[in-house]
Structure 1
């Protein structure tokens, strides 16, 4: 039986703001989740919690004493905070001593700006305590908090699986919206807005590469976890983790196909731009060839020397125009004639 939470002395560590505690809950099988403040959570950490009962703490890492408070009262590994300070936001799920370490990312996709904003969530999960930590607000945590009474997590791994499902749904949403944007660009490909299409495709490709780096789980760590899970992790969560692995693989394959499609569209646009450049260069070459006879004749007759022909002929100008026109027609015929096969 859990002992009733007794009032403790007003110490700085037991203040929610000082401890950096955003959300704190006690999950028990027979009742709804019970909200905890920092004082109550610290007292429960000193008690032996019954089976299927655990504490969830969501902390703000921007508070200076949040790490020390969690380590002192809940026995969180130092490796967990080393992982946070390693500046590696890529999604990861691995075993850390006798606990589970999860690095998740919450991605917000902006269809208008063709960009994403992400917030990283670090999660430390053991049979009696679950700690989630963040620097920036994480949307999936707020959605989970709003549905807390309906979700009724029976085990800590159920919370982890729910968050993984949210991340997988975000990945599918990014792929679906990006595919719609690529469809629109592909329809405009025949229009005159090639440069705009090229810029948007480049932004989409860079954004998808970033999403793939953030949301795709590290396969090596995930396979190690599936092959050598912690002893307290039951068979059913392992089966669901394998299902999530397959779903992530399908979403990542769709993402890879979409990136390949974008690459082909970029190559098509580059080929069209090259063709336009070649046509412009050909037109400039033809104009230069057509202007060559008149430049040569004007150069010869513009010399300030004696003996210039037709100088005293009243029809000299007309004769020169006819000569230049004849040479221009010949040069035009040579430039525009079709080569024989």
Structure 2
């Protein structure tokens, strides 16, 4: 009996129908007369009810576990701690797990990836999460601004396009930063911080994994013969959009890879130039070192030993040996000569 009257921890909820949008969440809880259990999934005929619940609250888990109108496989997917992206179709209901970036109320969007569980059925849609997600905020803002999905296909379209919008914004930001770094590098020789490039690379990897996973989920649904016909066109359209966006992410990854390769090439060229200078200096100083070492031997009969200009003569011999090596290197082309 407790299951029959339980209510979820509702983040937000809406009823769409008759050209109007009715909010179901508020300071007094869920504004559904009599409300609990499966009654929350029973909107008026021709209406669409969308509930976004917080799985971090055990009341939401108990409510979902007690929904007899949902197939068991759908309930298990929503409540599963496994967060990898996947989808299933069971008894006319569609369930899937999609990835989105978590948000922190103090710092905004984070780099942490969270799971969004989705269940779609006749006249209803449930989205559930453990941590606040960016796309859910985008969905709510769009609904508050006047967007009204007419059916489950429209709700799925709104959800996936909101996730795609967040990913597209991140992709454009990354592409702009990479292009600005390329322009500065080629024009002024300015080099970006390697830590910034590592952070950008990590972000592109996360975006690619997110979008490729969503694309796989939509493809899985598109190929399922049990998928409700009303959702097929929306799934096909969304799959194409996500695929195009994923291509943009891959392009940004390629640009970032080229930038890193250019930085590595310039660093290698600087190292080679430094090694070249050191090699030339070593070659020039080696004969002089040999001469000074020879004259430094404590043996009898050393040249210039009794000459008042012995030091000068020894220095001239060292300089002449270095000059001879210089001319030889230049003749061989090591110094850029012919």
Matched residue, 1:33: 22
Q: Is the 8 A contact 1:105 1:118 kept in 2?
A: yes
- d(CA) in 2 for partners of 1:232, 1:138: 27
- The 5 Å alignment of 1:75-154 reads 75-80=69-74, 81-82=76-77, 85-90=80-85, 92-107=86-101, 116-148=111-143, 150-154=146-150
- d(CA) in 2 for partners of 1:293, 1:302: 14
Aligned Cα root-mean-square deviation (Å):
3.3
Matched residue, 2:11: 22
Matched residue, 1:261: 255
Note the C-alpha offset of 1:314: 0.6
Matched residue, 1:171: 167
* Residue range with higher mean Cα deviation, 156-165 or 197-206: 197-206
- d(CA) in 2 for partners of 1:279, 1:137: 52
CA distance 1:284–1:96, shift in 2 (3 Å): farther
Matched residue, 1:224: 220
Matched residue, 1:294: 288
CA distance 1:189–1:93, shift in 2 (3 Å): farther
- d(CA) in 1 for partners of 2:227, 2:112: 36
- d(CA) in 2 for partners of 1:333, 1:41: 97
Show structure 2 runs of 5+ residues with no match.
Answer: 104-108
SS of the aligned residue for 2:21 comes to: coil
Note the C-alpha offset of 1:181: 0.8
* Residue range with higher mean Cα deviation, 119-128 or 26-35: 26-35
Note the C-alpha offset of 1:154: 2.6
CA distance 1:231–1:225, shift in 2 (3 Å): closer
Matched residue, 2:300: 306
> Bigger relative contact order, structure 1 or 2, given CA contacts below 8 A and separation 6+?
1
CA distance 1:181–1:305, shift in 2 (3 Å): same
Kindly provide the CA deviation profile for residues 96-153 of structure 1, in whole angstroms up to 9, marking residues without a partner as x.
45311232333489xxxx9844443211111143221111112332343344462333
Find out whether 1:272 has 2:266 as its counterpart: yes
CA distance 1:147–1:267, shift in 2 (3 Å): closer
Kindly provide the CA deviation profile for residues 242-288 of structure 1, in whole angstroms up to 9, marking residues without a partner as x.
22222222222222222222222222222221111111111111111
Find out whether 1:251 has 2:261 as its counterpart: no
CA distance 1:136–1:93, shift in 2 (3 Å): same
CA distance 1:240–1:48, shift in 2 (3 Å): closer
Note the C-alpha offset of 1:310: 1.3
SS of the aligned residue for 1:216 comes to: helix
Note the C-alpha offset of 1:13: 8.7
Kindly provide the CA deviation profile for residues 272-327 of structure 1, in whole angstroms up to 9, marking residues without a partner as x.
21111111111111111111122112212222222222111111111111111111
**TM-score for both structures, normalised by structure 2:** 0.81
